[in-house]
Structure 1
Amino acid sequence: MWLCLNYYTMIQRHPTYWFNDGDTILHQKVLSNHDDSDIVYRIHHSKFSWPESPKFLLGSSSRTMAENDLDEELLDGLNGCKYVVLDYEQTIDVNDLVVLLDHFYGKSVLSPESDLTTRIVPILRITGPNQLNIPTLHEQAKKYFVRSFPNNAQELAKFQGQCAEEAMSLAIQYDIRQPQKPLLYYLATQTHLELHDADSQDSRTSISTLSHTISTHMISLFTPLLFTPPPTSHMECTDALAEHWMPLVIAPAIEDSAMGKPLQTLERMKDVNWSECGLCEECVRIKREEWTEEQERVWEIMDTWILEADAEE
């Protein structure tokens, strides 16, 4: 249902979160490219009372409907409701607010199993201090956010990088340190890095610069290892490894631009069935251990690269 707030602004009742017995109206200002089309929600204040009542429901923007200069059609039957305008310097995303309401109404409660992109990130963003400022839920979202990313080289080698660009920006914005290293590695391995439009220019520049620096270091470190078949404990195994190195290691790496993806490439090398290529079991075991150690070395040396890059900024 569309209603007129004033001559310039149309508002729409949210199709899901408009309850006839609700006691609180949330008025969300939505800016579009063409006009202002706001959304109103009629909800129950009691749904927000655990574990803390959000400050935005108690602040100066919270008044009764009758205290506001609103269209009579909008006021009809709502005079006793509390009226809260969600008007913040950083615009609140419509979907983020719905995800938050889903949580408080029990439709999709935030949990460790929640999807990163569709649940954890929206709640992390909307509960932050620059938006609705709900500290307890924000900290809970932070915890689940951290759990969504690898914390060692082997896990990172298989990481798919769900919403990595936006996640990195949020990790920086909210000073969430642990995911920044794996996210930075992942972003550094991407040949086409497109940072989230909502990020500030400074944030985009910083992430892009760091990613480029890390990528340069990784290529410099890993290229000699990639293009040089390693020796083994036995001459026969060394010859067999060298014979298959080009088709099984170098060629796939070139095709995948993997010179700058050391963890993934080393993991792929470990997955090759080297026994079928003529290597003995002992040499296969030793090589896989060495490649795992190399993954750990890359993971550890990244700390130095990040510190050096930060010092240069």
Structure 2
Amino acid sequence: MAALTVTVSTTKLNDANAQPTYPTLRRHARYWLDDGSLVVRAQNDIYKVHRTLLDRHSKVLATLGPSTEGPDESKKTVDGLVVMHIPDELEVRSEDFEALLEHIYHDAPVNNSASFPKVASVLRASSKEQLDFPAIHTLARARLEEMFPSGPQASFSSEHAEEALTLAVNHDIPSIRKALYYSIATHSHDHDADAASADASAPRRPPLSPELSARCDALLEKLISHFTPILFTVATANHMSCTDVLAEKWMPLVIQPALDDNGLCRPLETLERIIAIDWAAEGLCEDCVRDKREEWRGEQRDVWERMDEWLR
């Protein structure tokens, strides 16, 4: 990117001899358009784009004021255009603004093939708390909802779960919040192990806020407390012979595997594994297999419904 130096003094008040230092604004490599009519600054990047296109979508951008940084008026214009500065208090990241422009200019639109980082960037930048592009925000929100389950899906995990939960909470997307809370709460030890063994140069998962971390920890405690008696109580059947089979097989087929892979912390997955066991081959009659599987499905639904109360 070509660089443009603007003057934003960082001189200390008690150091009269110090020379002020100024950040370097970078002209964006793609969105510095020759026929652009608006120069927008997001963090330390500047973009030359079409005013009418952005103003049509966003009242916030339509009312932007010029940058107030610089020692004189000449530093406030670039290519004869006044630099309009997105206020720092809106917390618009430069990479998010770039993703928003990619959607607006149809270079990388938010569609069914859009990646999570792309959708997350557009969702943030288009929100009413930032640049307020209502139609684009609705589209990004819908795409995010498609990426994560809204029901009790066992074995769901995602490398983007923490960031997705933060987005779901900040932007009030209840349809995917519960699955994300469950995934993070029940796989937190996996994340710790990944962090310990990961390449130092690899990107780190974004941390949760202390409040969200505490809610996930509290949820895990509730899940374990609820599921412990279910796991360690041998199931019974309608027929004595089938009950005897369950009593014989419960430890090797149910309890021990759960102890081996933290199944106590993951009731949905553990119940799914119990359901998947070929109980007929182990000696249960057809009626008891059907009844027990429906009972275990009911246990999954019960866990999912109780989470509404546990997450309040």
After superposition, give the CA deviation of every residue in 1:136-182 in whole Å (9 maximum; x if it has no partner). Answer: 322332333334332222x2x23224422222222222233332222
Q: Are residue 58 (structure 1) and residue 62 (structure 2) matched?
A: yes
Q: How far apart are 1:89 and its partner, in Å?
A: 1.0
CA gap 1:88/1:133 in 2 versus in 1, 3 angstroms? farther
AA at the equivalent of 1:180: R
After superposition, give the CA deviation of every residue in 1:86-116 in whole Å (9 maximum; x if it has no partner). Answer: 232143223212211110111222235533x
The secondary structure found in structure 1 opposite 2:88 is: coil
Identity of aligned residues (%): 34
AA at the equivalent of 1:143: A
- Correspondence for 1:152: 151
- Correspondence for 1:34: none
1:40 is aligned, of 37, 43, 46, to: 46
Distance 1:286 1:47 in 2: 61
- Correspondence for 1:2: 3
Contact 2:61–2:131 (Cα < 8 Å) also in 1: no
Distance 2:149 2:57 in 1: 34
- Consecutive unaligned residues in structure 1, runs of 5 or more: 30-37, 308-313
- Correspondence for 2:39: 25
The secondary structure found in structure 2 opposite 1:25 is: strand
- Correspondence for 2:14: none
Distance 2:86 2:277 in 1: 56
- Correspondence for 2:201: none
CA gap 1:150/1:60 in 2 versus in 1, 3 angstroms? closer
What value does the CA root-mean-square deviation take over the aligned residues? Answer: 2.7
Q: Are residue 169 (structure 1) and residue 170 (structure 2) matched?
A: no
Alignment of 1:294-305 (within 5 A): 294-305=299-310
Q: How far apart are 1:71 and its partner, in Å?
A: 4.6
Contact 1:26–1:42 (Cα < 8 Å) also in 2: yes
Contact 1:88–1:131 (Cα < 8 Å) also in 2: no
Distance 1:207 1:124 in 2: 20
2:266 is aligned, of 244, 261, 267, to: 261
Q: How far apart are 1:23 and its partner, in Å?
A: 1.9
CA gap 1:282/1:82 in 2 versus in 1, 3 angstroms? farther
After superposition, give the CA deviation of every residue in 1:258-308 in whole Å (9 maximum; x if it has no partner). Answer: 21211111112112222332333332222211110110111112222233x
The secondary structure found in structure 1 opposite 2:188 is: coil
- Correspondence for 1:135: 134
Q: How far apart are 1:253 and its partner, in Å?
A: 1.3
Distance 1:60 1:167 in 2: 29
Distance 1:238 1:219 in 2: 25
- Correspondence for 2:224: 219
Distance 1:249 1:59 in 2: 63
The secondary structure found in structure 2 opposite 1:168 is: helix
Distance 2:276 2:292 in 1: 11
The secondary structure found in structure 1 opposite 2:124 is: helix
| TM, length-normalised to structure 1 | 0.79
- Correspondence for 2:87: 87
Distance 1:70 1:54 in 2: 28
- Correspondence for 2:214: 209
Q: Which moved more, 1:211-220 or 1:99-108?
A: 211-220
- Correspondence for 2:18: none
Contact 1:23–1:42 (Cα < 8 Å) also in 2: yes
Distance 2:278 2:74 in 1: 72
Distance 1:61 1:124 in 2: 23
AA at the equivalent of 2:160: C
Contact 2:64–2:85 (Cα < 8 Å) also in 1: no
Alignment of 1:193-204 (within 5 A): 196-197=206-207, 204=209
Q: Which moved more, 1:92-101 or 1:227-236?
A: 227-236
Distance 2:64 2:231 in 1: 62
Contact 2:228–2:264 (Cα < 8 Å) also in 1: yes
Query: Which has the bigger relative contact order, CA under 8 A and spacing at least 6?
Result: 1
Q: How far apart are 1:48 and its partner, in Å?
A: 3.0
Contact 2:275–2:296 (Cα < 8 Å) also in 1: yes
2:243 is aligned, of 238, 256, 266, to: 238
Distance 1:86 1:170 in 2: 21
- Consecutive unaligned residues in structure 2, runs of 5 or more: 8-20, 193-204
Q: Are residue 289 (structure 1) and residue 290 (structure 2) matched?
A: no
Residues matched between the structures, number = 281
